[in-house]
Every structure is written in C-alpha cells, then in structure tokens.
Amino acid sequence: MPSHREDELELEQGLLSGVSRKEQLPERPLLYSRRPLLYIMLLISFLGLSWVFLRTDARQPLTPTLNVPRNVQLDWAQYSPYFPAGTYSSPPSGCKVDQIQRHGARYPTKGASTAIRQALAKIQSVDEYTDSRLNFLRSFKYQLGTDDLVPFGAAQSFDSGVEVFERYSHLTNGRNIPFVRSSDSERVVVSAQNWTNGFSFASNHRFNPPVAVIISEAANDTLDDSMCPGAGDSDEQTSAWLGTFAPPITSRLNAAASGANLTDKDTFSLISLCPFETVFLEKGSPFCSIFAEDQISFPGFEYAGDLDKYYGTGYGQELGRVQGVGYVNELIARLTNSPVRDNTQTNRTLDSNPATFPLNRSIYADFSHDNQMIAIYAALGLFNSTALNPTQPDPAHIWRVSDLVPFSARMVVERLDCGKQGSNVRIFVNDALQPLEFCGGDPRVGICTLKAFVESQSYSRNDGEGDFEKCFLDS
C-alpha cells in the first residue's frame, strides 16, 4: 500500500484517487450518478498551430512500477496497466497537429466485488490447503473498495497530463488552454481532474485547465455507453470461453482446497484479484502466484476480456458501433471547425453552445468509459478484423483489449496542416500509429487527407444508417 510519504506527495501534486481524498473534490456543475464505470477516455485535438516537437525527460513518472513481469500484466485484459503499444513519432516537418487519450486503475465494480467476496468465502472456508501457494489465504483480509480510482490509477492520469504538456506545450498559451470534458461518473471526473493537475504541474502552473463540462449520464452523453437499451451483451460468448479454458484451473484449485466447491465463475473472480490487488498494493499480489505457472489462467483471462469488448460494444455486437457515432460526429466538428451535425447521442444543448463546445481550441480532452471507447473505435473503423471465435482463439488476432483499453488507455487523433498539401489526419491508440486503410492511408505513415477521413465516416455522418433507431425498438 502507498506509504504516508507517498500520500503527502500525492497531496502536494494534486492527486485525487477517490479513496481518501473525496473531500478535495470541487463542487460539480452537473448532477452525477454512482453507476459502475469501467474506464475513461480523453480526446485531445490540436488545431491550426505550427508543429515543434518538444519533450523533456527530466521528470520521472509518478506512476510506480509493479513487481510483475510486463508480459503477465499484458494478459490482464482491460485491467492491464497502460503500456505504450508503439513509439510515438513527431509529424512530418512543416505540419500541424491534433490529438486524443484515456484513464487509470480502479477498484472492482460493485458486481465484481460481490463475486470476488463469494469466491473468497468458499476457498477460505476449508480446513487444509495442499498447495503451499494458497497458505496465505489463512490470514488474508480483503481490503479492496469499489468503483473508485486507486492511487496507482490517480498517478496514471496525472502522468498522462504531464505527457501531453511535454509533447504539445507549444500549442498552449494563456488564451488557448485544453478544453476538458468528462462523463459524470465519479472516477471519470476524478481522472479528468488528475489529468488537468498533471498538465498544470508540468507547466509550472502557468496553464491550469479546468474540467469545463461534466455531462450527466441521465441525459444524452457521447462519453457513456448507456444510450442503447436494445443492444445485446457478450454473455453467450464469454460463457462459452469460460467453459473452455477455466475447468482445468477450477479442478486444480478444488483439489488443493478440498471442500471449497469452486465454480468456473469463482475461478475467474480469483484470477481477477491478481490485477486488482496488484494495482492497489503497487506490488505483485500473492494471487498472481496461484495462476502464474499454468500457462492457461492469464491468457484465458485476457481472451475473456477480448470477447467481452468485441461482443459487448465492438464489431461483434449488432448495435455496438452505433454507440460511438455521436462522439465521432463531435470529432468531425472539431477537425473541420464546423457545427456538430448529429441526431444520435449528442447533447444538443451543450454542443450548440460555444461555451460548452468551442471550436477554437488547440487541445480537447474528453474522459469516458472503456466500453464507450470500444464503440468509438468500431464506429471509426479501427481494429476491424476477423470475428473472434468464442472457443478457439486465433493466436494472431489483433483485437487485444490490453492494447486497446488498458487502465489509462489513450487514443490520439491529430490534424496535420501541411501547407499546400492541405489538412491530414493521423490516429494513435496507446502510441501505436493506426494504418487508416479505411480512408486511403498509407500503412507506413498512417496518414490520410482530412477530406478522405471525413468521407470515410459515412456511417456516423448518416447517424448510424438506421441502427440508432433499433436501440429503442421493443424486443
């Protein structure tokens, strides 16, 4: 757990985790709810300024390293900590730039926490363990909260704000600071605040962007995935995979803890304690050692996350990508300096007001959920590949949620204004440059013209081509 001195450093640098610092939260401008949140996205668009690549390496990241091999962490699916999936490169000489990004590690949601406690009660009820890796359970006390950021996640968001300032400080001045929005779930708002604190800190507090708009999830909200009640879920596919990979692990645990009578769902919950405890303790959890040697548990856990997102709000869900349409139309408005044209999830009151949806900023930052980020990827046409098989994973599949939406994931959309060549677009997801074949991009440089990019987004520009209306049909 973080030390007292680490807590003091968090206070000095303005970190908010929601764990012990809720009293520092400013009064919210809009009503918020406490519904479970999964992740956060931050959009940053840089418009109309000359490019100079700036980066300082004097400051070490605040986010601690975890005493767990990176390849293991990358098998934690959406609970993986952020790692760059590529190497960010500066735009071609003479161009200008726009960008996008996301949030940090949290406790389990309320539902996941209930399932974890039930599994723990079973495995801790037995009289004897025949596997020494389980002996710590005799005195183990469950300490995790629910829903809030952990300090590790707060640091991730702070570091993200620092990185954006270091990378794009030349786009900021006293009249042009980042415009930041957030969906109104508490940990999303807190992540946005940590990001702005990091940006301010990196600028020596010269530039102090506020969280300007907090969008209620009870109304139209392009940063939340709750506006399609007719959409299905991924239960069929994830259940099929759980029944494929988990039985031998469950059998091993039940043999080592006779009388526990664990189910495959219990096994899944116990595996999840490895990432959740690790980001809480900021060191490897003893639960990791239970599953580290069988070569099945963590890869199986990762693929369960891949299936969950693919068939939840991704390409495998008929009404998945339509949930990202409103956001894509907001992105097009920012890239083209034109009013938002949308009849889906956008909040027209906010988007029609220059005070709450300006078009004259260099940096825009939006904080959202992982499920919503997946829908936006799908609406844009990113990561489109062969459908995932629920029982036979393809080792070469590219849809890996640890690369797409880990804790503190970032999507970056850049507008490059290249003189006589006109405006172009690049997209990075966690620093991995996207090929953009869907708009005629050259995979080697990942650039297509702004005109071609806008034209490629016909699904969004046409309000989901009838799919949005299906969200509200009676089943």
Mean pLDDT of 319-327: 97
Residue 68 has pLDDT above 60, yes or no: yes
Q: Residue 64: what pLDDT? A: 86
Q: Which two tokens stand for residue 301?
A: 């856990």
pLDDT given at position 92: 67
> At a CB cut-off of 8 Å and minimum separation 6, what does 295 contact?
none
370 is catalytic: yes
What is the bridge-based pairing of β-strands 101-102 and 41-42?
A: antiparallel
Counting beta carbons within 10 angstroms of the beta carbon of residue 442, is it exposed (0 to 12), middle (13 to 18) or buried (19 or more)?
exposed
Percentage of the residues of the chain whose pLDDT score is greater than 90: 72
Residue 280 to residue 104: CA distance in whole angstroms: 12
User: For position 5, what pLDDT does the model report?
Assistant: 40
CA atoms within 13 A on the CB side of 225: 31
Residue 17 CA: distances (Å) to CA of 31, 52, 141, 190, 316: 20, 34, 22, 7, 34
Q: Is the pLDDT of residue 50 over 50?
A: no
- pLDDT of 166 over the 70 cut: yes
Average pLDDT over residues 419-447: 90
pLDDT for res 94? 53
Catalytic residue among 75, 103, 147, 417: 103
Tell me, what's the pLDDT at 84? Answer: 93
Instruction: Look at residues 149, 207, 215, 219 and name the one whose alpha carbon lies nearest to residue 181.
Output: 215
Position 14 confidence tier, pLDDT thresholds 50, 70, 90 = low
Per-residue pLDDT band at 170 (split at 50, 70, 90): confident
pLDDT interval class at 18 (50, 70, 90)? low
Residue predicted with more confidence, 21 or 413: 413
| 4 labelled catalytic | no
Classify residue 441 as left (phi > 0), alpha (psi -120 to 50) or beta: beta
| Residue indicated by tokens 């969280």 | 211
pLDDT digits (tens, 9 = 90+) for 453-467: 999 999 999 999 999
For residue 143, what pLDDT is reported? 95
Mean pLDDT, range 365-393, rounded to an integer? 95
Model confidence at 40: pLDDT above 60:
no
State the pLDDT confidence band at 13, using cuts at 50, 70 and 90: low
**5 or 263, which is more confident?**
263
Confidence check: pLDDT of 47 > 90: no
Global pTM reads 0.88
- Contact of 446 with 413, CB cutoff 8 Å: no
Question: How large is the average pLDDT for residues 305-316?
Answer: 98
Average pLDDT, stretch 193-198?
96
- The pLDDT value given to residue 194: 95
The least confident of 5-19, 275-289, 380-394 is 5-19
Q: For all residues of the chain together, what is the average pLDDT?
A: 86
Give the per-residue pLDDT at 90.
Answer: 81
Give the residue, 173 or 267, on which the prediction is more confident: 267
- Amino acid 128: pLDDT: 95
- Please say whether the beta carbons of 302 and 402 come within 8 A: yes
Asked whether residue 37 carries a pLDDT value surpassing 50, the answer given is no
pLDDT for 46 beyond 60: no
DSSP state of 321: G
Strands 364-367 and 179-183: parallel
State yes or no: pLDDT of 44 exceeds 90.
no
For residue 95, name the pLDDT band (cuts at 50, 70, 90).
low
Q: How confident is the model at residue 442 (pLDDT cuts 50, 70, 90)?
A: confident
4-433+446-470 CATH: 3.40.50.1240
Express each pLDDT in 117-141 by its tens digit. 999 999 999 999 999 999 999 999 9
Q: Which residues does 423 contact at the CB level (< 8 Å), separation at least 6?
A: 335, 415, 416, 417, 449, 450, 451
Is 90 exceeded by the pLDDT of residue 356?
Answer: yes
Distance CA 93, CA 157 (A): 30
Q: Measure Cα distances from 266 to 145, 154, 251, 256 in Å.
A: 19, 29, 12, 15
Domain extents in the chain: 4-433+446-470
Rounded mean pLDDT, 88-96: 69
Q: Which of 370, 403, 463, 467 is catalytic?
A: 370
Is the model's pLDDT at 51 over the cut of 50? no
Task: Quickly count helices (H) and strands (E) in the chain.
Answer: 17, 9
The more confidently predicted of residues 219 and 98 is: 219
